[in-house]
Amino acid sequence: MKDLVVVITGASAGIGAAVAELVAARGGRPVLLARRAEELAAVAARCGAQSLAVVTDVSRRDEVERALQAALARHGQVDVWVNNAGRGINRLVSELTDDDLDDMIRVNVKSALYGMQAVLPHFRGRGRGHIINVSSMLGRVPFATIRSAYSASKHALNSLSANLRMELRAQHPGIHVSVVHPGVVQTDFGKNALHGGPDSRLLPNSQTAEEVAEVIAGVIDQPRADVYTRPWAKQVVVDYYAAEDMGRAEQEFQAPARPPR
């Protein structure tokens, strides 16, 4: 990871901040994007002189483009782009409004699309690069019905990622597209969800942002298409989609939390 220029969205806290600090600790040059200037500056200070903080609303295409240009002006290149910014929701499907769904798509899907489309010409010109999209286990299986539109947005992000990977494979094999699927992470995600929600830090079977950052660092070092941050998570997904009756599998998800396997 030494000397790699790694752009990280949603870098003012949580997973994004943990990734930025880990990149810096391993000799990389993190470029931190987020809306909250004070919090972003604090993370950048912890990352050291090689870091660059760019206050950015990644739900605006023009601001994402501007952030890319700032990174190129500082470092001359970008090696990895991590689309981590996102937001949850606390609302059942039957309760969703147009604004609810629009917000989830804007923050969780369009922001990643803007990042991918902004950096792709640079990657194509260099013949290499790596896009990492931070998705969720809820983008694979319906663990939490209150996260309905969030889950839908992550399913959409997964599909865009896979389609881009296939689009690039023949002519640009040096450009990698990875998706990382955390479960519950001990951050402010739950408290900051649209319409509120349970504190993610108090939920069972959670993991730290630093643990997720370690997985993302591993993907940077060894690019893979689809990665889970828990050793048991992939099998849960396989079992769900292989189930003869998905309805019965979903009943198990709604039961009291089962231990990891």
Q: Classify residue 84: in a domain, yes or no.
A: yes
- Whether residue 260 is predicted with pLDDT greater than 60 in this model: the reply is no
List the one residue out of 158, 212, 217, 218 whose CA is nearest residue 185.
Answer: 212
pTM attached to this predicted model: 0.94
Specify the amino acid at residue 99. Answer: D
pLDDT in tens, 205-230: 789 999 999 999 999 999 999 999 99
pLDDT at 1: 86
- Domain membership of residue 260 (yes or no) is no
Assigned token pair, 57 = 């609303």
DSSP conformation class of 207: B
Q: Is residue 31 part of a domain?
A: yes
CATH number of the structural domain spanning residue 73: 3.40.50.720
Task: For 48-90, write each residue's pLDDT tens digit.
Answer: 999 999 999 999 999 999 999 999 999 999 999 999 999 999 9
> Could you give the CA distance from residue 243 to residue 88 in angstroms, rounded to a whole number?
28
d(CA 32, CA 193): 22
Selection from 105, 110, 117 nearest residue 65 by Cα: 117
Q: Could you list the residue range(s) of the whole structural domain that residue 38 is in?
A: 5-254
pLDDT of residue 255: 47
How high is the pLDDT of residue 118?
98
Residue at 231 is within a domain:
yes
Q: 4-52, pLDDT tens digit by residue?
A: 999 999 999 999 999 999 999 999 999 999 999 999 999 999 999 999 9
Does residue 261 fall inside a structural domain? no
CA–CA separation, 174 and 184 (whole Å): 32
Q: Is the pLDDT score of 256 beyond 60?
A: no
**Catalytic-role residue among 114, 150, 228, 241:** 150
> What is the domain count for the chain?
1
Q: pLDDT tens, 159-175?
A: 999 999 999 999 999 99
Distance CA 158, CA 226 (A): 9
- Residue whose entry in the numeric block shows the structure tokens 């881009």: 164
Bridge partners of 34? 55
Catalytic residue check, 241? no
Residue 254 confidence (pLDDT)? 67
118 backbone dihedrals φ, ψ, rounded to 5° = -70, -45
